[in-house]
Amino acid sequence: MSESNRIDVADVLRGFSIMAILLIHTIEHFNFYSFPTVENEWLKFFDTAIWDSVFFAFSGKGYAIFALLFGFSFFIQDNNQTLKGNDFRLRFAWRLVLLFIWGNINAMFFTGEVLVLYSIVGFALIPVSRLSNKAVFVILTICMLQPVEWYKLIYALTHPDFVPGESLAMYYFEQAFVVQKDGTFFETVRMNLYDGQLASLTYAWEFGRVFQTAAMFMIGMLIGRTGLLKKTDANLRFWKKTLVISIICFFPLYGLVNMLPDFIENKAILTPMVTTIKSWSNLCFMFFIVSTIITAYYLTSLHNLLGKLAPYGMMSLTCYITQSIMGSLLFYNWGFGLHDKLSITASFFVGIALFFIQYAFACWWMKNHRHGPLEGIWRKATWIGAKK
């Protein structure tokens, strides 16, 4: 598919995911869990309501949609080159190396960035890209089942005296917290590129994000192969059914995640069970969001409103990295140090303001350019040395 035949709903979904990620990161002060003491009871109520609502709606779902569309974009690029008689896989590997660089630039400002993870897990798409849909589906299902968590669970069940060690991710986040609170800019950069990246990557490993991300990449690739984002009667029936099935499956899984701690005290058993079921719960709610947006975009009067997110989605890399820069500047000690001055409610409205600033820039930029600023650089670097 050529760029002139872009599937706009993919950009809408990407824009939604980046907006969701921004709102979550803003209320959590960009992985800097330091907040002012709140005495007012009404403000406490709104802080709790906003925190619970935003995390319920977006936590684990924004990144899942982002990952799904990463796999979809891979298919589009790979398919375009296949139609021209070229093999895109080696060029994609180089593109992932470039993404690793982008990720480390982003990591200079933010401990929770995912681009480095994507650049590593993205290599999983190369060997599966020539397999049949059925084979890819089997592999992604295995990934979504969280095999490492099942190993941990079985080991804990067969070794009742086993006591799991402390979380490495939490250790590295604690190291990061000290610098976020008191460090200079260069101390923050140095910390983020070491402790911050180790925190992000070990968190992804310990909480099932590695296998979940690989599965999302492959699902996105299959969606591209099957053309499910195109507007056809068959596709719309599929997304309507997905909307219903996903929300029906979500609630028992979500309820089970919240119930398990009341019945299982052994953390060696509880943690892998919660990690696994929570990943399935997030997958269901993510598909509910995706199917809702797709059906609303194609079938309702919300088409024009949702379509306005497309420029934002077309600049997802630019927006994602600039979010980290702005968030670090606002909340960390090296910048304005607002972590202990802005409540969750105030931070939420700051997130909305940041979104509109980014959105206004994206709309202005995309009126005169085919790609966002960083997207254009990434694209040119991807094809460096290629014959025109």
Q: In this predicted model, what pLDDT tens digit does every residue of 345-366 receive, in sequence order?
A: 999 999 999 999 999 999 999 9
User: What pLDDT, on a 0 to 100 scale, did the predictor assign at position 376?
Assistant: 96
261 has a pLDDT exceeding 70: yes
**Rounded mean pLDDT of 24-51?**
95
Q: In this predicted model, what pLDDT tens digit does every residue of 305-334 receive, in sequence order?
A: 999 999 999 999 999 999 999 999 999 999
pLDDT confidence bin for 165, thresholds 50/70/90: confident
CA distance 298 to 82: 29
**Rounded mean pLDDT of 229-253?**
97
| CB neighbours of residue 123 within 10 Å | 12
How big is the chain, counted in residues? Answer: 388
Six token digits for residue 261: 């701690």
Distances (CA, A) of 86 to 54, 71, 92, 301: 44, 19, 12, 41
Do 106 and 321 meet the contact criterion of CB atoms below 8 Å apart? Answer: yes
User: What pLDDT, on a 0 to 100 scale, did the predictor assign at position 38?
Assistant: 92
CA distance 148 to 303: 41
6 has a pLDDT exceeding 90: no
Average pLDDT, the chain: 95
**Rounded mean pLDDT of 106-127?**
95
Q: Which amino acid is at 204?
A: A
CA distance 388 to 385: 9
User: What pLDDT, on a 0 to 100 scale, did the predictor assign at position 387?
Assistant: 73
Six token digits for residue 271: 């943690």
Q: In this predicted model, what pLDDT tens digit does every residue of 179-221 receive, in sequence order?
A: 999 999 999 999 999 999 999 999 999 999 999 999 999 999 9
Best CA proximity match to 371, nearest among 88, 78, 74, 3: 3
DSSP class of residue 192? Answer: I
User: What pLDDT, on a 0 to 100 scale, did the predictor assign at position 50?
Assistant: 97
SS3 303: helix
More confident site: 32 or 2 = 32
CA distance 366 to 364: 6
DSSP class of residue 165? Answer: P
> CA quadruple 78, 80, 86, 90: dihedral positive or negative?
negative
Do 314 and 366 meet the contact criterion of CB atoms below 8 Å apart? Answer: yes
CA distance 58 to 168: 25
- Give the list of residues 6+ apart from residue 290 with CB closer than 8 angstroms, or none: 13, 65, 68, 239, 242
**Rounded mean pLDDT of 245-272?**
96
